[in-house]
């Protein structure tokens, strides 16, 4: 079994604080209370958006690869290729196929490219941003062998 949540880096959590401060300063023109309400509401809204962006998960459970919204049976998967920083950059830019499924997070430099072998699926591969591509490849191989 494999389970990874693609959480945003800690430094990104400064963005909701900055958003709240910006809203607070803008609405401070209408008074102290509207400024405070905008400070809290703006920061909270930005925090919710950032949290939802970082809530994407990759799991290998019960014979399925669950990556974000995709649920792919491991029988429909071919070879898994762990990608280092340079290879991952190439596969998400110049080598990318428009038909590919991509669970991409810019703050994660490594990835796993998994071929999709289902003849009825036009998707050639799945590109998955992951902090541990070797462990994910191993979990997929173990799930196929089970």
Q: What is the mean pLDDT of the chain?
A: 94
Q: Is residue 67 part of a domain?
A: yes
The one-character DSSP state at 62 is: T
Q: What is the pLDDT of residue 92?
A: 92
Average pLDDT over residues 69-80: 94
Range of the domain at 72: 57-145
Q: How far apart are CA 137 and CA 112, in angstroms?
A: 7
Q: Are residues 49 and 64 in the same domain?
A: no
Is residue 1 pLDDT above 90, yes or no? no
Q: Are residues 61 and 131 in the same domain?
A: yes
User: What are φ and ψ of residue 50, in 5° steps?
Assistant: -65, -40
Structure tokens given for 75: 């029988």
Asked if 19 and 43 count as a contact pair (C-beta separation under 8 A), the reply is yes
Q: Are residues 104 and 88 in the same domain?
A: yes
Counting the structural domains of the chain, the total is: 2
Average pLDDT over residues 33-53: 95
Q: Is residue 2 part of a domain?
A: no
Question: DSSP string spanning 41-107?
Answer: HHHHHHHHHHHHHTT-EEEEETTEEEETTEEEEGGGEEEEEEE-HHHHHHHHTTT--TTSEEE--TT
Q: What is the pLDDT of residue 60?
A: 96
The widest CA-to-CA distance across the chain, in whole angstroms, is: 65
Task: Give the SS3 label for residue 53.
Answer: helix
Average pLDDT over residues 35-42: 97
Q: Is residue 37 part of a domain?
A: yes
Q: What is the pLDDT of residue 77?
A: 95
Q: Render pLDDT for 77-128 as a digit per residue (tens, 0 to 9).
A: 999 999 999 999 999 999 999 999 999 998 999 999 999 999 898 999 999 9
Q: Decide which of 17, 38, 53 is a domain's last residue.
A: 53
The one-character DSSP state at 100 is: S
User: What pTM value is reported for the model?
Assistant: 0.83
Q: Is residue 79 part of a domain?
A: yes
Q: Are residues 16 and 85 in the same domain?
A: no
Place of tokens 């070797």: 134
Q: Are residues 84 and 135 in the same domain?
A: yes
Asked if 116 and 124 count as a contact pair (C-beta separation under 8 A), the reply is yes
């Amino acid at each position: 079994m494999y389970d990874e949540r693609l959480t945003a880096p800690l430094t990104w959590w400064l963005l909701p604080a900055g958003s709240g401060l910006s809203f607070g300063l803008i609405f401070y023109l209408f008074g102290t209370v509207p400024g405070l309400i905008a400070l809290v509401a703006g920061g909270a809204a930005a925090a919710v958006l950032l949290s939802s962006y970082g809530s994407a998960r990759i799991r290998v459970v019960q014979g399925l690869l669950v990556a974000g919204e995709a649920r792919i049976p491991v029988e429909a998967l071919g070879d898994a290729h762990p990608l280092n920083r340079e290879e991952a950059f190439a596969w998400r830019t110049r080598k990318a196929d428009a038909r590919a499924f991509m669970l991409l997070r810019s703050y994660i430099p490594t990835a796993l490219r998994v071929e999709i072998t289902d003849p009825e699926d036009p998707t050639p591969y799945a590109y998955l941003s992951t902090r541990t591509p070797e462990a994910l490849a191993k979990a997929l191989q173990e799930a196929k062998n089970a």
